[in-house]
Amino acid sequence: RLAMEHGNGGVFFEDALVFLFAAGIIVPLFRRLHLPIIVGFVIAGAALGPHGLGALAHDRPFLGHFTITDPDAADQFAELGVLFLLFMLGLEFSFEKLWGLRHLVFGAGSLQVGLSALLLTLAAYAAGAGGAGSLTTGLALALSSTAIVSQLLIDQHKIAAPVGRAAIGILLFQDLLVAPILIFVGFAGGDGEGSVTSVVVTALIQGTVAILSIYLIGRFALRRIFHGAAAAGGRDLLMALTLLTVLGAAAITAGAGLSLALGAFLAGLLVGETEFKHQIEVDLEPFKGLFLGLFFMTVGMDLDPAVILSHLPIVAAGIILLLAVKGAAAVLAIRLVTGNMAKACEASGLLAPAGEFAFVVLGVATATGVVEPDIGVVIAAIAGLSMVLTPLTGRLGTVLGDRAAKPAADAP
């Protein structure tokens, strides 16, 4: 392998070639079969990852040249795709629009996550996952995929529609929950220091300071800095400053224990207030598409066909239960908060599958012993396969939403 001759640089070079091969050749073939591009990248990741051709490379070394050999490195680049997506999502919003979503963020969001986590925890406990493990499983699976849902809404031009606002509002609340969930897992695994109350209070203070810092920098300094970059070097320096803004805001929220995605979204809100909004959207679009494709490939790499096949009845039942519980919880939460049954049905199809943060939570939980590794692998398979089904469940939600809207439209 090139890695033996040239070190890690050779591995990176080969993995980059494999990814570009998938993006430029394999995924377009799936598109010709009328499969969503998200599904194409996930299938490509499963086929070219360590559990696909990579598993055969030990006996047939030449296959190693057609696989992703360093998934951990791919994960780091894949995170950039999620950050760019959330940043560009923030560009489409404003603080006024975000304030208008507060009833969806905290009302529908808390109800949907609470109901989902409760029912999924009970199901995991009944399956023998144990107390702390069951609650961790319920919380992990209650979260939905910000990356996939946002991309689908953008592709369908629904990001500013009622269903888009409902889905994004709930997803924002879920992003805010990542830190408290990880704090709980740390304490459940015996790694917590101090009382739960003191840690939670500290986390709340850190999160508030981080968000306030991003807001103040954006409001009072960002526009002047962007003007200076545009005057000094044009689009090149402006692109560098944009990347600094995205990664810097993400680093601030991550340092406070919040999610990277939340910082990128807040950065988008602030840049969206400037006159450079549209130019930045055009300049970042290719980068977002490539890195986001890599993210979806990493989702596919986490799917282990051997585990799925050996636990097929459990995985299938888990997916059905997951979609039913989260879909019903989303319908109830959005219906109660907005009074719009059609919007509730359509958004539920997008929110029913699991999300990328499930892998983060499960990774920490298995490392600390809160969830048994054998159970964690099965739960990860359920989460990953449900994410692949998001385009399909989204279409089902649209059909149900149209049916729910018909009686209202036909009424005299």
Question: Is residue 94 predicted with pLDDT exceeding 90?
Answer: no
Q: Answer yes or no: are the C-beta atoms of 65 and 275 closer than 8 Å.
A: no
d(CA 211, CA 91): 17
**Can you tell me whether residue 397 is helix, strand or coil?**
helix
CA–CA–CA angle 108, 109, 112 (5° rounding): 80
What is residue 272's predicted lDDT score, i.e. its pLDDT? 83
Q: Answer yes or no: are the C-beta atoms of 90 and 277 closer than 8 Å.
A: no
What is residue 1's predicted lDDT score, i.e. its pLDDT? 39
Q: Answer yes or no: are the C-beta atoms of 348 and 412 closer than 8 Å.
A: no
Q: Answer yes or no: are the C-beta atoms of 79 and 139 closer than 8 Å.
A: no
Is pLDDT larger for residue 185 or for residue 350?
Answer: 350
Q: What is the pLDDT of residues 21-38, one digit of tens each?
A: 777 777 777 777 766 777
CA torsion angle for 53, 385, 42, 74 (degrees, to 10)?
-80
Buried b (16+ CB within 10 A) or exposed e, 131-158: ebbbbbbbbbbbbbbbbbbbbbbbeeeb
**Among residues 276, 277, 278, 283, which one has the least CA distance to residue 230?**
276
Q: Give the position of tokens 């109901």.
A: 115
**Among residues 22, 16, 36, 29, which one has the least CA distance to residue 392?**
36
d(CA 125, CA 21): 43
What is residue 236's predicted lDDT score, i.e. its pLDDT? 77
Question: Is residue 129 predicted with pLDDT exceeding 90?
Answer: no
* Predicted structure pTM score: 0.75
Q: Give the position of tokens 């010709």.
A: 32
d(CA 250, CA 141): 24
Question: Is residue 3 predicted with pLDDT exceeding 60?
Answer: no
Q: Which amino acid is at 109?
A: G
d(CA 406, CA 400): 10
- Residue 123's pLDDT band (cuts 50, 70, 90): very high
Is pLDDT larger for residue 249 or for residue 232?
Answer: 249
Is pLDDT larger for residue 174 or for residue 185?
Answer: 174
Q: Answer yes or no: are the C-beta atoms of 147 and 387 closer than 8 Å.
A: no
What is residue 139's predicted lDDT score, i.e. its pLDDT? 92
- Residue 116's pLDDT band (cuts 50, 70, 90): very high
Question: Is residue 39 predicted with pLDDT exceeding 50?
Answer: yes
d(CA 338, CA 335): 5
What is residue 137's predicted lDDT score, i.e. its pLDDT? 92
d(CA 274, CA 227): 10
d(CA 256, CA 211): 9
Question: Is residue 210 predicted with pLDDT exceeding 60?
Answer: yes
Task: Give the DSSP letter string of 4-60.
Answer: HHHTHHHHHHHHHHHHHHIIIIIHHHHHHTT--HHHHHHHHHHHHSTTTHHHHTTT-
Q: What's the mean pLDDT in 264-274? A: 84
Question: Is residue 2 predicted with pLDDT exceeding 70?
Answer: no
Q: Answer yes or no: are the C-beta atoms of 55 and 303 closer than 8 Å.
A: no
What's the gap between Cα 52 and its chain centre? 23
Share of the chain above pLDDT 90, in %: 20
